């Protein structure tokens, strides 16, 4: 939802940075009405190069540190999609994926992204939910494509 909302608003790598609070507000108002902290935390994580092999968001300002220092508040940081994030959203406006109504039936949002590159393999995943756990390590993009 974050990537789709930023792309829809034209907050892409080839344009200037925008306040993170604006992107968070757009996501919360249109797609995820459950509080701003979870949205901003996800944005920050997607910008941290020590947590992702390919960062999906570029961020100006303090986005935390490897030592566990917290990021600055969203009003102090600016963000935009990274160039590689554009490949996750490539041709989304050409009916390539199914869309569903958002929480209040005012807008449609994609159920999946077209993903012209294998984000799950490149960035990996770690998590636990309802008794299931996963730990997919990150992989080198060139090796995955070969």
Reply yes or no on whether 76 is catalytic.
yes
Q: Which residues contact 62 (CB under 8 A, 6 or more apart)?
A: 69, 71, 72, 76, 77
Residue 43, judged by CB atoms within 10 A of its CB (0-12, 13-18, 19+), counts as: buried
Strand pairing class (78-81; 57-60)? antiparallel
40, 76, 87, 132: which is the annotated catalytic residue? 76
20-30 vs 36-47: helix crossing angle, rounded to 10? 130
Q: Which uninterrupted H or E stretch holds 108?
A: strand 108-110
Q: Known catalytic residues?
A: 76
């Amino acid at each position: 939802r974050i990537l789709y909302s930023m792309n829809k608003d034209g907050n892409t790598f080839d344009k200037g940075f925008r306040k993170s609070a604006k992107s968070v507000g757009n996501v919360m108002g249109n797609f995820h009405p459950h509080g701003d902290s979870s949205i901003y935390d996800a944005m920050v994580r997607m910008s941290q190069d020590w947590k992702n092999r390919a960062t999906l968001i570029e961020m100006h300002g303090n986005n935390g540190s490897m030592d566990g220092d917290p990021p600055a508040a969203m009003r102090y940081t600016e963000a935009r999609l990274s160039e590689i994030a554009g490949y996750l959203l490539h041709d989304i406006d050409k009916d390539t994926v199914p869309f569903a109504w958002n929480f209040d039936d005012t807008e449609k949002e994609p159920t999946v992204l077209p993903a012209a590159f294998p984000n799950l393999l490149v960035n990996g995943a770690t998590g636990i939910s309802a008794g299931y756990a996963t730990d997919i390590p990150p992989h080198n993009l060139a090796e995955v494509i070969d």
